[in-house]
Amino acid sequence: MATTRLIPMHKIKNQSVSYTIQERIDYATNSVKTLGMELVTAYGCDPATAANEMRMTKRAYADYTGREMPKNDVLLYQIRQSFKPGEITPELAQKIGYETAMSWTKGKHQFIVATHIDRAHIHTHIIYNSTCMDGKHKYRNFLGSSFALRRASDKLCLENNLSIVEEPKTGTTHYGKWLGNKKPPSFQKKLRMAIDAALAEKPKDYQAFLKLMDDAGYEYKAGKQPAFKGPEQKKFTRLRSLKEGYSEGDIRAVIMGERQLSPEQKKAKNIQPQRVNLLVDIQAKLAEGKGAGYVRWARGFNLKQMAQTLNFLMEHRLLDYGTLCKKTDEVTTRFHELSGQIKAADTRMAELNTLRKHIINYAKTREVYVAYRRTGYSKKFLAEHGRDILLHKAAKKTFDEMGIKKFPTMKSIQAEYAGSLAEKKKLYPEYSAVRQEMKDLQMARANVARLLGYEEKEKKKESRETPEKEKETTNRTGPLL
């Protein structure tokens, strides 16, 4: 697939401007890479003297403006086009490169187009002078230039029936990560797969296992660090460099039946589903003082959210507004039921913790309080044992409030607490799923209501709507599609 990059070229460190320009052009027009310079084309200059001619243009610019070239100035710009292997001929790549350069520079800059065929993928280097040929202006890079260049290049590629990158990745992501699932397996991964396949044959001993690996094309090297080398490898891969479970000891244990070695499982990428979001009330935001830029963003955002809302409604077969309202109310009611049960479990667990704490405090301070009562509630005794007496009184007050006359055993308290905790854990997965479903349904309902002009206000409801209200809601609307 064709890819395009725009690369500014500054003066090489500790080198002159003349040397930099010459070196950059020499690299692009290398005769070995360009079929003896047959795949080199120039505009506004001659390939043999392009460096000198570009430098003279820069001198004319300095004479016209009276400004000397800054040390950090961009001397040249390079456009690099890469094409999918086997999809294009060098001649066509050269033609597309020249048309790209002419379209991008508008014929105002000298440039060199050189197509390289020394790699598996054909690629073209386009180097153009940052100074215009009239000696009065310079090219200034701008925000979004890479996007504009890629769009111009993609247009030419599509016209010539070449593939392009539909959704190019941006940023500094490593190329291997950029490829994602399309990345070819590494030598280590191939070796692990080969080991799994050999062990799946259930060899009788380690030598039989090595024979199976040899049949698969893997050369074995014994020693302190045993290793294998695949058909396309130049170096051996040590078993210790593989992940846990693939050492020689692990392999021998699998052969002896002492452990199982599961084949590698391809980890599925955790893709978060897109969620429905509420539409932006543009008029309300304008009243708050938002400007035209915000309005443009909000319109685009609303279009995306309506598309997402429609996808959600079609996926869940909720294309009638009455059905959508009924489903939303049912899920909301179920959410409140689950929420109430979880809160009840939390409340009971908190009560049990409090009860357990006061039972322990009551038992620890009982003798102190009995002694305090025998002293006739002496102030001196109270001053000496005030903390224990206060804990004892607090425990008695709690028991009276809870209506407890006979203490439950600590074992029964622990058992009830464990039961409440287990019930909460059992309910929580459904609670989380229903909560997210409720949010999606409520947002979809609000978006549809705003789109159709029902002016319905979303409220938190503790119970279902009455049948009459549901009937009224259904009658005043029709199908959404």
Per-residue pLDDT of the chain (481 residues), as tens digits, is 467 888 999 998 888 888 999 999 999 999 888 988 889 999 999 888 899 899 989 988 888 888 877 878 899 999 999 888 878 888 999 999 999 999 999 999 999 999 998 877 889 999 999 999 988 889 888 878 888 888 888 888 878 878 777 655 555 554 445 445 555 678 888 888 888 888 888 888 898 889 888 878 888 988 888 999 987 788 898 888 887 778 888 888 888 887 776 554 333 333 345 555 666 666 676 677 777 777 777 777 778 878 888 888 888 888 888 888 899 899 999 999 999 999 998 888 888 888 888 888 888 898 988 998 899 989 889 888 888 889 888 888 888 888 888 888 888 888 888 898 888 888 888 888 898 889 888 888 888 887 776 654 444 443 444 444 444 444 444 454 4
CB count, 10 Å around CB of 157? 24
Is residue 187 within 8 Å of 233, Cβ to Cβ? yes
Give the pLDDT confidence score for residue 131 in this predicted structure: 93
Tell me the two tokens of residue 317. 């077969």
Give the pLDDT confidence score for residue 404 in this predicted structure: 83
Give the pLDDT confidence score for residue 182 in this predicted structure: 54
Residue 33 neighbours by CB under 8 Å, 6+ apart: 114, 116, 117, 118
CA-CA distances (angstroms) from residue 190 to 126, 215, 239? 39, 15, 12
Question: Where does CATH 3.30.930.30 sit in the chain?
Answer: 3-177
Residue listed under structure tokens 């190329």: 175
Q: Which of 399, 336, 343 is nearest to 366 (CA)?
A: 399
Give the pLDDT confidence score for residue 333 in this predicted structure: 93
Give the pLDDT confidence score for residue 475 in this predicted structure: 43
Give the pLDDT confidence score for residue 201 in this predicted structure: 81
Tell me the two tokens of residue 182. 């399309």
For residue 455, the SS3 value is coil
Rounded to whole angstroms, the Cα distance separating 461 from 81 reads 59
Q: What are phi and psi of 73, to 5 degrees?
A: -70, 150
| 3-177 is a CATH 3.30.930.30 domain | yes
Rounded to whole angstroms, the Cα distance separating 83 from 2 reads 4
Rounded to whole angstroms, the Cα distance separating 182 from 164 reads 16
User: Mapped to the 3 state alphabet, what secondary structure does 141-185 carry?
Assistant: CCCCHHHHHHHHHHHHHHHCCCCECCCCCCCCCCHHHHHHHHCCC
Burial class (CB in 10 A: 0-12, 13-18, 19+), 85: exposed
